[in-house]
Structure 1
């Protein structure tokens, strides 16, 4: 069975524990529930099938049934909190605790590096900026960012990106980008991307007043569509995004970092059939 820090869904961990015990003995859901002190013989099966959830007391009882202790017990508590969180801030806080526990025990959390990269605007901006400023000190790089960032934050970000392999340090304060991409497959990635989208949307709003119109382009259109039209527009936006990236990659000597937000979102509820 995999170490608990390789899980990002406590139900999968519980299910794997059951399957492992079942493989080596006549373990049943009834026995699993009895070990955890539950009267319903099918309760934990329902939890694993995402048809029920664990209370705080239930977390402790299930952890005891699986003989979890030390950092594994603490990780399991935060894992349940992460999966059952109702809002992004609670979810982020729980995942941060999971990462801290794993790092303190010299264990890497699955998708932890990708989450760290996409969680904040600083990493992608600094990755582009340092490639344009070979030899520049962290203080100089920080001074080139419109959004506040300290030299220490620059150092921390660069060290992180070198460690995970998306930047390569060639000499003191000289970095080049690598072809490596940080890709995450778990549910933590939408959480990190949503966090960055919120930051970038906020920056876009402030740019209306902070930059001359010749240095920023903000346009929009309000329109009525059906689902088929919406999906076709989304495909066109994706094709446009890829084309724009290709144009950017042809820059002979990049000297500024830009952000392009492609946003399409509802401004009304869906009108029921027959009402139009």
Structure 2
């Protein structure tokens, strides 16, 4: 069984712990639940399936039943906090603690690099910008960013991108991309960071209305009355459109500027809330 530090879901860890014990003995959910101090014989089975939840208070009881100690128990507790968190801010706080614990014990969380990449707008911008400015020092890269950042922030981001394998640095200090594009993929944790980036990029878009010359930006919008069926079709068209844009951008080997495209499609009414199924 994998180390607890390799998990991001406490439910999956419980399920895998049970499966391993079951494979080696006559271990039952009833025994597992009793060891953790709960009366319901199926409580932990339901927890592992997402039908019941752990509270922060009883997380320690489960951790003790699974013989987790010290940092392992602390990590398990943060997984529970992450799952229970109602806001992205609370989820980010819990996951960052999970990352810190894993880093301190030389472990790598599978989604950690993806989470860190999408958590800040600086990472995708510098991933595009650095290869287009060969030989540029961090201060020059910092001044080329919009909004301008510090040289220290550039260095921190570039070091992360290289360590995560998203950029490669040669002996002359020049950067190249290891892949032409990066997508989120089917992950549980990364969307929290992606939503944070959407907020950051949305704010930059507002500032660009006044801060960027009109001939260097393009803003347009539509207000549409649609059905549920046409919503699905429009989303498919947006996905196809994004793929065509990626193909256009990646067929060139040089970069003049780094641009951001926000595609936003959201309801302006609440009629659907009152519909009866």
Q: Which TM-score bucket, shorter chain as reference?
A: over 0.9
Match of 2:27 in 1: 27
Q: Provide the C-alpha distance between the structure 1 equivalents of 2:36 and 2:180, rounded to a whole number of angstroms.
A: 45
Match of 2:239 in 1: 238
Query: Cα distance, 1:180 vs. partner?
Result: 7.0
Q: Provide the C-alpha distance between the structure 1 equivalents of 2:86 and 2:217, rounded to a whole number of angstroms.
A: 36
Aligned ranges 1:201-240 → 2 under 5 Å: 201-240=202-241
| Higher mean C-alpha deviation, range 104-113 or range 251-260 | 251-260
Query: Cα distance, 1:170 vs. partner?
Result: 1.7
- Name the SS of the counterpart of 2:170 in structure 1: strand
| Distance of aligned partners of 1:180 and 1:207 in 2 relative to their CA distance in 1, 3 Å threshold | closer
| Higher mean C-alpha deviation, range 32-41 or range 64-73 | 32-41
Aligned ranges 1:24-173 → 2 under 5 Å: 24-173=24-173
Match of 1:187 in 2: 188
- C-alpha distance after superposition, 1:198-254 (max 9, x if no partner): 111111111112112112111101110012212222222222222222222344642
* C-alpha contact (below 8 Å) 2:180/2:250 kept by paired residues: no
* C-alpha contact (below 8 Å) 1:82/1:90 kept by paired residues: yes
Structure 1 stretches of at least 4 aligned residues deviating more than 3 Å after TM superposition? 180-185, 250-253, 270-275
- Name the SS of the counterpart of 1:168 in structure 2: strand
- Name the SS of the counterpart of 1:192 in structure 2: helix
Aligned ranges 1:242-261 → 2 under 5 Å: 242-251=243-252, 253-261=254-262
- Name the SS of the counterpart of 2:5 in structure 1: helix
- C-alpha distance after superposition, 1:22-63 (max 9, x if no partner): 221221222112211112222222222222211222111111
Counterpart check, 1:3 vs 2:6: no
TM-score with structure 1 setting the length:
0.93
* C-alpha contact (below 8 Å) 1:99/1:109 kept by paired residues: yes
* C-alpha contact (below 8 Å) 2:56/2:81 kept by paired residues: no
* C-alpha contact (below 8 Å) 1:121/1:200 kept by paired residues: yes
- Name the SS of the counterpart of 2:59 in structure 1: helix
Aligned ranges 1:258-273 → 2 under 5 Å: 258-271=259-272
| Higher mean C-alpha deviation, range 31-40 or range 104-113 | 31-40
Structure 1: gaps (5+ residues): none
* C-alpha contact (below 8 Å) 1:8/1:186 kept by paired residues: no
Q: Provide the C-alpha distance between the structure 2 equivalents of 1:124 and 1:252, rounded to a whole number of angstroms.
A: 17
Structure 2: gaps (5+ residues): none
| Distance of aligned partners of 1:170 and 1:230 in 2 relative to their CA distance in 1, 3 Å threshold | same
Q: Provide the C-alpha distance between the structure 1 equivalents of 2:61 and 2:140, rounded to a whole number of angstroms.
A: 54
* C-alpha contact (below 8 Å) 2:6/2:107 kept by paired residues: no
Q: Provide the C-alpha distance between the structure 2 equivalents of 1:247 and 1:27, rounded to a whole number of angstroms.
A: 56
* C-alpha contact (below 8 Å) 1:117/1:124 kept by paired residues: yes
